[in-house]
Structure formats: C-alpha cells, structure tokens
Amino acid sequence: MKIAEVEVIPYALPFREPYVTARGRLERREMVLLRLRSDEGLVGLGEAVPLSLRGGAPLAQVVGELEGLGERDSLDEAMLRSSALSLSSAARCAALTALLDLRGRMAVADGSTAPAASEAVECNATLVAGEPAAVAAEATRWAEDGFDTFKLKLGTSDDFGQVFAVREAVGPRARIRVDANAAWDVDTAKQMLEALEPLEVELAEQPVATLEEAAEVATWTSIPIAGDESIESRADAERALAMSACALTGIKLSKVGGPEAAIEIAEVLPAYISSALDGPVGIAAAAQVAQTLDAADHGEQATLAHGLATQRLFSSTVASVECELRAGMLHPPPGPGLGVEIDEAALEAHRI
C-alpha cells in the first residue's frame, strides 16, 4: 500500500494509582502512537508499547524504527512481518495495526464494505499487588461494576493473603487468576500453588521464568499453568504444548508483534488477549483479536475473560472515541477500521 506520510508520536498516560507488580512499579505508561496517511488523506492508527521491563526494546529504539518507515513509499503486511526491516515486536505491532486500520477505513470510504458490527468482549479485573485488605477492597469495586473474573499480581508480598482476601470479598462463584510475572522459583511456585488450590484459582500465569520450569510445576498442581513472557511466537506455543508446560497462554500484541502473530499462537494453545497497559489504539486492536478468538472453535477458549479492561487504570486518555467498559464487557467503537478517534489537544498534552 502506498503511504504518503508517517507520523510517530511518543506519549505517556499516568495511572490513577501506581501500577505495582513483581516486575516493578510504574507511575505512567510510555507508548508510541503511529499514524499512516494515504494519498487520499485517510489515516490508520497503530500503537507500540515498549516492554523494556520485560527485556523488550526501549522507547527511543521503537520511535527510531517507526520513523524509519517514513523512508519507504509503500508498506505491506509481508514486508512488515519479514526480518528484512529488523523491527522490534512493539514497532511491528504498531505498523501492522496501523495498516489494518487504514485498510478498514479505506474500504468503508470507497463503499466496498460497511463498518463491521462489533461484539463486546468479556474482561477480567486487573488488581495491582498490595496489602490484602486493599486488594480485596479494589476487587469489590470492580465487582460492583460488573466484573466476575479477577487477576491478581503476585510475587511481591503476602501472595496467599491477597488471594484469600479477594476470594472472601468476591465470593465462591467469581473466577480468580494469578500472575507472578515469573517472580517465583520452582520450589516457591509449587508451594504457593499447592496452598492456593483450595481457593479454586482459574489459572496461574507465568509462575516461573522458563517453559522447562513450567513443565515441572505443572506436574505438581491442578491449577492450569498459562504462559505469557515465555510464549512470544507460534514456535514457543508449539514447544510449550509438546512439553506439557502450559495449558493455555495470555497474549500481548506488542509482545508478539501484532494481530496475526497473536492468532497464530492461539491456533496452538487456548488463549486470552491481555493488555500490555496499552493506550486506546492498542486496546481497540486487541479487542478485535479477542473477538476473533471468541468466535473460533477452540474448546473452552470462549469462556476465558480477556485482560483488556486496563484503560480503567489510567487517569486520562488521548482519544475522543475509544472502547467503552460497561458491566465487565469491553465495547469497541462503531466506526471504520479500529474506530478510534484521537483527541488532538489531549495527545499534545501527553506528548513526551
């Protein structure tokens, strides 16, 4: 596709409260907005979330990679997914998402298609690590807003106490999943998951660092082990399946390199889509992938809530039109492509 202009804008959104996990503490989320403009003036939006705390490319590198796309007269999916451009996963995700958005907007503009009807996506509540009473109180607030799946970030303090307090707060019918962000060693993971089994945990995401360690832990517990950091490609998913290391996996678009890569992973393992603490464009793209997975026949996959309610964690946005959270469901915007519209004044205020 011929591209007339590439615009790259780094920006940051502040959290309402510090985001605390075993990986560290964040006061704000830095990300990069990408705009691809066609000769007709239509604009496709993409977003990169540099995952430097997880070993990914830093913000400056992602910005440079995306600015380099402006040297090309045209872009297509095959080129962006090839190794020839040497893009980081976050930059590749932004470029592929922007191209997808632009194609969708062009198809509506030329009358070849109408905006697709969007189904709402069930989401889990995301609870940051903290004192058990505080985490339980936050779970109660999410529950009052219609959420019935709760994801707890463990590996920082009183892990069992947090899960126990949340179970007491939300009741026996709620689903609880835990995520240690690979903070536990094998022995700790075995001990913690054994202790958590009576609390009926839905899944344990990335309890240990490697697939080899996950395979060992999986033989010790009845709680399903889910991948995240250890599964970044279809090949990783195939290896995890062959090793019986993971029963399912979470997928972040910026981590795996975009929507198509996410779907390829989900063809191997049951999967749910998680936010990398994305902005409005990344959430909208992830919601479309989540819809695709929910519609596919992957056994119990359609019963899994997706981790895409994280816009609630931010104190502001850069969008005038974006996904909306209502009663535990994420509702994509109705417009063409991703449907997101940028608030230019807000974007300028959050530019870095």
Tokens of 350: 């959050």
Whether residue 214 contacts residue 225, with contact meaning beta carbons closer than 8 Å, is answered with yes
Contacts 24+ apart (CB under 8 A), 289-296: 289/251, 289/253, 289/259, 289/262, 289/263, 290/121, 290/330, 291/118, 291/119, 291/121, 291/332, 292/263, 293/263, 293/266, 294/119, 294/121, 295/119, 296/266
Q: Say whether 80 sits in a helix, a strand or coil.
A: helix
Tokens of 158: 């009183």
Strand partners, 330: 121, 325
CA distance 209 to 350: 34
Catalytic-labelled residue, pool 151, 153, 190, 255: 153
Contacts 24+ apart (CB under 8 A), 227-233: 227/269, 228/179, 228/181, 228/252, 228/274, 229/54, 229/181, 229/182, 229/255, 230/182, 230/206, 231/265, 231/269, 232/89, 232/256, 233/261, 233/264, 233/265
Q: What phi-psi label fits residue 41: left (phi over 0), alpha (psi between -120 and 50 degrees) or beta?
A: left
- What Å distances lie between residue 69 and 2, 5, 39, CA to CA? 12, 9, 16
Cβ partners under 8 Å of residue 108, min gap 6: 114, 115, 336, 337
Catalytic-labelled residue, pool 151, 190, 252, 255: 252
- Is 153 annotated in the active site? yes
- Is 190 annotated in the active site? no
Active-site amino acid positions: 153, 252
